Amino acid sequence: MLKLLKNRIFISAACLVMAAVLAFVLLPRLYETRSATTEIVRLNQTVERGTVIDDTMLTVSEVGSYGLADDVVTKADQIIGQVAVSTVYAGEYLWRDRFVAIEEYELEIAGSGAALGDGQYLLTVSFPTTSSGVAAVLRDGDVVDVYEY
């Protein structure tokens, strides 16, 4: 037996058999999950924030399922009637957290200041640096004059 293990032809044949088993049996089983595909839903047009999604905006495409996140939209009925909370571009993967129900969106808008009453304005002032602006000396209730230009 020891003489057989020292034989170069036997060692070469054993290595070839092991390589064949690895190449034709083990590797295909390892990669068959990577070649699996699944269908996902994508937009066929860019949708701005606040747009209600309907079925004419959606298309189904087939992608590889290996490494695909769980919160990607795979069925159109998951987002039809939902509102986009940010701009979503055509062809992007659609994530469930980028869409909310109409009622949730209306509550968000009401609390954000975008639903101000008549005579009320939301104003943002930006400066190149914090020190060139008001340097955090403004407090709640301070009066600030704003001039248009």
Q: With respect to residue 49, please indicate whether it lies within any of the assigned structural domains.
A: yes
Average pLDDT on 51-58 reads 92
**Which H or E element spans position 99?**
strand 99-100
Which range scores top for mean pLDDT: 44-58, 98-112, 125-139? Answer: 44-58
Which range scores top for mean pLDDT: 26-30, 68-72, 114-118? Answer: 68-72
Q: Is there a single domain that holds both residue 41 and residue 84? A: yes
| CATH number of the domain that residue 91 is part of | 3.90.1210.10
Sign of CA dihedral 107, 108, 112, 114: negative
Q: Is the pLDDT of residue 113 over 70?
A: no
Q: With respect to residue 14, please indicate whether it lies within any of the assigned structural domains.
A: yes
Q: How confident is the model at residue 47 (pLDDT cuts 50, 70, 90)?
A: very high
Q: Is there a single domain that holds both residue 51 and residue 104? A: yes
Q: Is there a single domain that holds both residue 41 and residue 12? A: no
Q: With respect to residue 122, please indicate whether it lies within any of the assigned structural domains.
A: no
Average pLDDT on 112-137 reads 62
Q: With respect to residue 94, please indicate whether it lies within any of the assigned structural domains.
A: yes
What does the pLDDT read at residue 1? 67
Q: Are 94 and 63 in contact (CB under 8 A)?
A: no
Judged by phi (left if over 0) then psi (alpha if -120 to 50, else beta), residue 135 lies in left
Q: With respect to residue 69, please indicate whether it lies within any of the assigned structural domains.
A: yes
Q: With respect to residue 123, please indicate whether it lies within any of the assigned structural domains.
A: no
Q: How confident is the model at residue 37 (pLDDT cuts 50, 70, 90)?
A: confident
Q: Is there a single domain that holds both residue 55 and residue 69? A: yes
Q: Is there a single domain that holds both residue 12 and residue 57? A: no
Total domains, the chain: 2
Q: Can you tell me the distance from the alpha carbon of 33 to that of 67, in angstroms, rounded to the nearest whole number?
A: 10
Q: With respect to residue 51, please indicate whether it lies within any of the assigned structural domains.
A: yes
Range of 74's domain? Answer: 37-112
Q: With respect to residue 146, please indicate whether it lies within any of the assigned structural domains.
A: no
Among candidate residues 71, 45, 69, the one with its CA nearest the CA of residue 58: 45
Percent of the chain with pLDDT over 70: 70
Q: Is there a single domain that holds both residue 21 and residue 81? A: no
pTM of the model: 0.55
Q: Is there a single domain that holds both residue 64 and residue 101? A: yes
What does the pLDDT read at residue 149? 46
Q: Are 10 and 4 in contact (CB under 8 A)?
A: yes
Q: Is there a single domain that holds both residue 43 and residue 103? A: yes
